[in-house]
Amino acid sequence: MPHLWVRAEQRAHERRTGLIPDGAARLIAAGFAVTVEDSRQRAVPIAEYAAAGCAIAPEGSWPAAPADAFIFGLKELPDDGTALMHRHILFGHAFKGQAAGQVLLRRFRDGGGALYDLEYLVDETGRRIAAFGYWAGYAGAAVALMAWAAQRQNRPCPPLSGADSSTHLLADLQTRLLATGTHRPTALIIGALGRVGTGAADLCTAMGVPVTRWDMAETAHGGPFPQVLAHDLFLNCILARPGTPVFVPKDAGTRPRRLSVIGDIACDPDSDFSPIRVNDRITTWDAPARRVHDTPPLDVTAIDNLPSLLPLESSGDFAGQLLPALLKLGTPDAGVWGRAAATFRDHMARLT
């Protein structure tokens, strides 16, 4: 049976995990070896993993893990250029032409390891089996509204901090909005029928924000989409891929518009297929909104670990979706894992 090694996340503010203690206990009962690294920032205490029967390792010790272990994390590996010999499970962001992704793939080539990208774990129909989508949408809409409230007060959007629960997040956001008065912005959500769009719409509804919900039917003609500029907020909930229409053209800032905040929740700003052409970089927890046009102001939020604003709720949801696949990790060349391995091999064959 496999050895699953859960590494500590090295990115600041990343408190999520893809395996919670109940799931670890189920894996151990099924015969797995499970090692969990200690972590200074993981939302789930390490003592709960120890109580579930996991072996505990020092933070960042995964490079010395047994060669046959699967190294499991969520976000990027340390950017130290070292060759990667293990089989890694993570969000690699390496299959859409991203420059950093190409560097990552070369590290796997140099070390002989493999990447099972969490974004490309799909069932027989091509549908993802596990995603943080709902909580990404929920948190992404909240951050866009925070940026809008700060803009209304002529100040920068303040740094973000994780919330203990969605109830706490809503209370904080309500306070920020009330400080601007009674007016509420209008929002257009593209991808509203998916998990990300559903989360974004639920947050907007909770805050009294009128929402226009678009999905494939409304965007099938390929654009242009003047309705985007006619709303205060635009929330992009569609992953960038070949054929994705451009929703916000490069010159949108200079056009007549009501639009003042773009929440790029899907967040692939450096992808060749990004539908948000006024921005080409992520924003951060310390500086959540980037001003891309001054008069009138147009701000973009593009944070690529949004669900970490709600680490406990998002981790529990994602881990529950992923666990059935983890239980099948003993056959990594078949089913969902086999499909992910084939995707990795295909992109490795194209690597220059």
pLDDT digits (tens, 9 = 90+) for 37-75: 999 999 999 999 999 999 999 999 999 999 999 999 999
- SS3 string, 63-114, reads HHCCCCCEEECCCCCCCCCCCCCCEEEECCCCCCCCHHHHHHHHHHHHHCCE
Domains of the chain: 3-120+310-350 (3.40.50.720), 133-309 (3.40.50.720)
Catalytic residue flag (residue 328): no
What does the pLDDT read at residue 247? 97
What phi and psi, each to the nearest 5 degrees, are found at residue 299? -110, 150
Buried b (16+ CB within 10 A) or exposed e, 76-97: bbeeeeeebbbbbbbbbbbbbe
pLDDT digits (tens, 9 = 90+) for 165-222: 999 999 999 999 999 999 999 999 999 999 999 999 999 999 999 999 999 999 999 9
Are 235 and 141 contacting, i.e. CB atoms less than 8 angstroms apart?
Answer: yes
What does the pLDDT read at residue 251? 97
Tell me the HSE value of 127 on the side-chain side, using a 13 A CA sphere. 6
pLDDT digits (tens, 9 = 90+) for 284-333: 999 999 999 999 999 999 999 999 999 999 999 999 999 999 999 999 99
Rounded to whole angstroms, the Cα distance separating 101 from 99 reads: 5
What does the pLDDT read at residue 171? 97
pLDDT digits (tens, 9 = 90+) for 108-159: 999 999 999 999 999 999 999 999 999 999 999 999 999 999 999 999 999 9
pLDDT digits (tens, 9 = 90+) for 237-278: 998 888 999 999 999 999 999 999 999 999 989 888 999 999
Distances (CA, A) of 149 to 176, 209, 286: 6, 12, 17
Is 90 exceeded by the pLDDT of residue 18? Answer: yes
Q: What percent of the chain is modeled with pLDDT above 70?
A: 100
Rounded to whole angstroms, the Cα distance separating 126 from 251 reads: 35
Q: Which of 13, 86, 88, 93 is catalytic?
A: 93
CA dihedral 18, 134, 169, 41 (to 10 degrees): 10
Is 90 exceeded by the pLDDT of residue 34? Answer: yes
What does the pLDDT read at residue 52? 98
Are 216 and 239 contacting, i.e. CB atoms less than 8 angstroms apart?
Answer: no
Residue type, 2: P
Rounded to whole angstroms, the Cα distance separating 88 from 140 reads: 27
Catalytic residue flag (residue 86): no
Closest CA to 118 of 84, 74, 85, 79: 74
- Give the pLDDT band of residue 1 (cuts 50, 70, 90): confident
What does the pLDDT read at residue 228? 98
What is the rounded average pLDDT for all residues in the chain? 96
Q: Model-level pTM greater than 0.85?
A: yes
What does the pLDDT read at residue 352? 79
